[in-house]
Copies of this chain bind each other. A is one copy, B any other.
Amino acid sequence: MKSNKKVSNAVIRRLPRYLRILEELDKQGEQRVSSRELGEKTGFTASQIRQDLNQFGGFGQQGYGYNVQGLKVEIENILGLVRDYRLVIIGLGRLGRAIANFNFVYNPSFPIVGMFDTNPEVIGTTINGVTVADVKTLPAFLEEHRIDIGVISVPKDDAEQVADTLAAGKVKGIWNFAPLDVPEVDGIPVENVHLSDGLQFLVYHIQQDER
């Protein structure tokens, strides 16, 4: 760690992309990579990559570049990907089950350890080995277990209340899939996912091409 002034979110959001490429290169057995190569593979400029990485430290070596595995580990450390993060998910309708399944397959370091819903037909069912409980039991569950991240996939109108319950239960972050922006509660970071926004952005460009 080199500087103590806050690093911008724009930089942080690029780190997972760098990480993806580094994992790829590592799997291919590559030992070194230059900022130029990394630029080609990520679509950013070499200059920007060096600028970004130097916010955190001088990970490279003049005349050589970066050690693939070393840089991968550095970025994992920066992002905090050094331990598992335990999730609960609230709302196991279609969307919730989809997220649970996706997460089960693609994010093994983010185990979902609790599932909650209000629907009596859903409560008691088992998804990826976890039994869905009544959302009324959520506060007690959060009290008992140390939960890192709450995933919200309930209907829009219930989302804020769920966020409040999660905040009261001292989760450390909220990953929201309900189609509204959940505001920060108690300074707990929130990541609002709006898949449809990306689709609408795509449509804009499709329509531009049609002119």
Query: Quick check: A209 and B94 within 8 Å, CB to CB?
Result: no
Chain B residues, Cβ within 8 Å of A78? 204
How many copies make up the complex?
2
Query: Quick check: A85 and B179 within 8 Å, CB to CB?
Result: no
Query: Quick check: B148 and A106 within 8 Å, CB to CB?
Result: no
With A195-B102, A195-B193, A196-B106 in contact, is A173–B16 under 8 Å at CB?
no
Query: Quick check: A81 and B203 within 8 Å, CB to CB?
Result: yes
A190→B204 CA distance, assembly (Å): 12
Query: Quick check: A201 and B12 within 8 Å, CB to CB?
Result: yes
Q: Which residue of B lies closest to A43 (CB)?
A: B181
Give residues in A with beta carbon < 8 Å to B: 9, 12-13, 15-17, 19-20, 24, 42-43, 78-81, 85, 94-95, 97-99, 101-102, 104-107, 110, 148-149, 172-173, 175, 179-181, 187-191, 193-207, 209-210
Q: A79-B207, A81-B200 are in contact. List 18 more A-B contacts (CB 8 A).
A: A9-B201, A12-B204, A16-B200, A17-B194, A20-B194, A79-B200, A79-B203, A80-B203, A94-B105, A98-B98, A106-B179, A106-B195, A110-B199, A172-B210, A175-B198, A188-B209, A189-B205, A190-B202
